[in-house]
Amino acid sequence: MGDRSPRDTAARRLLALMIGAPLALALLPLGYGLAVLGELPDPMAVHFRASGAADGFGSPLPFILLSAAVTASMALVGGLLARSSIAAGAGSRITVGVFVFGAGVVAGIAVAGMGAQRGLADAAGARLTGAATAAVIAAAVALGALAAAATPRLPGAPAPAAREPLGLPEHSASVWFGSARMRPVGWWALVAVSVLAPGLPAIWLYREGEPVATWVLGATALLGAVVMGALRAVQVRIDASGVHWRCVPLPLPRGELPWSQITAVEAVQLAPGDFGGWGWRLSGAGTAILLRGGEGLRIRRTTGMPLHISVDDAATGAALAEHLRKHS
């Protein structure tokens, strides 16, 4: 216990928070639902339109158990997020706050829906008012803010060890190739969010005869498929002319920087939380092609923000880059 590093301690606190918050929130619909079970109509309203009118009905006890189970299941997502590099870096508090806010909305809407029909003989007359919905959102915002404030900032991982001078001649024709791939679990998770999330509702809406919404969601799913296809892996080449990169299997995005536009190339540890997630990112820290957390290159430019690229064996690439830059 005494040998635990500050990073390990912070990581354990973060994991406990991301798992514990949804489990604790799951007790709200479970406890409240069981307490008022005898006052709920059967069937009860289990879904409401945007206007607040009830449009879906079911048995009370399964609804109570399902609401609690859905909220509690978010603990699994929270655990995965806490163990991933998205929860590290400057964006960790935002990640936790948004996550707890979402869990709070799920639990709160279930409680508000049950409260709206206590004592009713017929659930068809139940209404989920705008005021009740606003109260749930306000409470979820407050919970998210508290969770963000309690989020420990994970200390950054040490930068990759610097390589010894390569001992190359001044005008070297050496070339370095590097690459990085997005981890399969993370890639498939992003595919689910960007492709399946809009694609499955598009299929359902097509069957329901809603052409406009079908086209909008279908185009969104197609765009997500193109983006995820482009961001499966990245390849980097460093040679006498500069730094070149491209994403694969699709050829875009791609680019190059000549040595005249570069002031330094460094091997660094990259955290998706510093850039708001994975992919091709623009943030206050610069531009990033970020396929995973861990080692990568930071390319400082003569103008504009730095460019960051995930790549394996970044220390070797940076060492050669600095040699070529100084003798270009």
**pLDDT class for 4, splitting at 50, 70, 90?**
low
Query: Could you give the CA distance from residue 140 to residue 155 in angstroms, rounded to a whole number?
Result: 28
pLDDT of residue 187: 65
**pLDDT class for 163, splitting at 50, 70, 90?**
low
**pLDDT class for 65, splitting at 50, 70, 90?**
very high
Does the pLDDT value for residue 162 go beyond 70? Answer: no
- What is the percent of the chain with per-residue pLDDT over 90, rounded to a whole number? 9
pLDDT of residue 141: 92
pLDDT of residue 32: 93
Q: What is the pLDDT of residues 238-281, one digit of tens each?
A: 888 888 988 777 666 778 888 888 888 888 888 776 776 667 77
Q: What is the mean pLDDT of residues 286-294?
A: 79
Least confident of 13-22, 137-146, 198-207, 313-322: 198-207
Query: Could you give the CA distance from residue 133 to residue 127 in angstroms, rounded to a whole number?
Result: 11
> What are the E-state strand segments in 252-313?
254-258, 262-270, 279-283, 286-290, 294-301, 307-310
pLDDT of residue 287: 82
**How does DSSP classify residue 127?**
B
* 0.85 surpassed by pTM: no
What are the residues facing 53 on neighbouring strands? 127
Does the pLDDT value for residue 151 go beyond 90? Answer: no
Q: Is the peptide bond before 165 cis (omega within 30 degrees of 0)?
A: no
Q: What is the token pair recorded at 80?
A: 């995965």
Dihedral sign from CA coordinates of 275, 281, 282, 286 = positive
**pLDDT class for 190, splitting at 50, 70, 90?**
low
Amino acid at the residue 136:
V
Please indicate whether residue 188 or residue 237 has the higher confidence score (pLDDT): 237
Query: Could you give the CA distance from residue 118 to residue 134 in angstroms, rounded to a whole number?
Result: 19
pLDDT of residue 1: 45
pLDDT of residue 87: 53
